[in-house]
Amino acid sequence: MQISNNYNYQDNAATRDAPWVRALFIGVASVFMVVMLVIPLMAVFYEAFKGGWDLYLAALVEPEALAAIKLTLITAAIVLPINIVMGLAIAWLVTRYQFKGKQLVTTLLDLPFSVSPVVAGLMFVLLFGLNSTVGGWLESMGIQVIFAVPGIVLATLFVTFPFIARELIPLMQSQGDSEEQAALTLGASGWQVFWHVTLPNIKWALLYGIILTNARAMGEFGAVSVVSGHIRGETNTMPLLVEIAYNEYNFTAAFALSSLLAGLALLTLVVQQIMSKMQARKYAKGIDREAIVAPKLVVNSSKPKAATVSGNSNS
């Protein structure tokens, strides 16, 4: 359920700001966004394309760059489905069940937001490194976690798993479970309730969480840097290769990969804005439909009463 706030503070004399205050806030916000966001982003694309389109493409099709792009996409493709399943499960657990330790679960859900990604990567090194019990046992079985793809996936999964759950929990709490209970009362199974009632109600929040998770998975640097080992052509993701190329004064490759990451981020924002407009349009249609149907229901509900009264009077 989406709550729309259409109240305009400037229409009320009690909350209306002076014109100079409004202009000051708009100016400060605009200058800050231009200096901190627009100019650096434009500088990245300028440096990337400064040498020409051919040099830009040549930097992206180098073997190391292609390996980094491939690893980044593979990591995101593995992490995203796991996050979808776990996010739905955690959101369902928190909003539909009462149990001891529920507050602890919601607190631990915010742990990746409060812990530095570098610390998170170090935790996985201590847990799955060759000198640890678990890491040594896995290594004896031929499974390498640290300085390999599994470690990168685990580190990325740690820093991204709260996003979907945090998008779903407030929405599911505000919606309640009345529709689900009604469907169960009518004989629907658990899976039918999920696919036909729960999922349609939370689909927009779920898509928002998927977009944020995907963007963070492709752009994660700190945790992945600790567990990757920076093995060229094997464990370098796009953000890691950007750092390596920049430190080696290969500015064309660094800015080319940076522009690719920035382009993916901008594409994510565009998709999110399109989805927001679609959701707002659907919500507005729902409000209009209720406004049209409600008077008809009132009129129709009044007609039987009139017929009953006339029937009683005739009798």
Identify whether 218 is part of a domain. Answer: yes
Residues 6+ apart with CB under 8 A from 240: 68, 221, 224, 225, 228, 230
Is 242 a domain residue?
Answer: yes
Is 122 a domain residue?
yes
What per-residue confidence (pLDDT) applies to 5? 55
Domain membership of residue 13 (yes or no) is no
**Do the beta carbons of residue 227 and residue 160 sit within 8 Å?**
no
**Distance, first Cα to last Cα, the chain:** 49
Q: How buried is 188 (Cβ within 10 angstroms: 0-12 exposed, 13-18 middle, 19+ buried)?
A: middle
Whether 27 maps to a domain, the answer reads no
At 307, list the tokens: 């017929």
Reduce the DSSP state of residue 61 to 3 states and report it: coil
Q: What is the pLDDT of residue 73?
A: 92
**Range of the structural domain that residue 103 is part of:** 53-290
What the block records as the tokens of 10 is: 């400037």
- Rounded to 10°, the helix 199-219/149-160 angle is 130
HSE (CB half, 13 Å, CA atoms) of 246? 14
The reported pLDDT for the residue numbered 291 is 57
Residue 217 lies in a domain: yes
Q: What is the pLDDT of residue 293?
A: 53
Tokens at 82, concatenated:
């796991």
pLDDT at 287: 62
CATH code, domain with 63:
1.10.3720.10
Residues of the chain with pLDDT under 50: 1-4, 297-298, 301, 305-315
Q: What pLDDT sits at residue 188?
A: 86
Pair of tokens at residue 298: 């009132």
pLDDT for the residue numbered 66 = 93
So what's the pLDDT on residue 164?
A: 93
Contact call for residues 51 and 216 (beta carbons, < 8 A): no
Q: Which pLDDT value is given to residue 264?
A: 85
Identify whether 6 is part of a domain. no
The total number of structural domains in the chain stands at 1
Would you say the pTM of this structure is higher than 0.85? no
- CA atoms of 222 and 118, how far apart (whole Å): 5
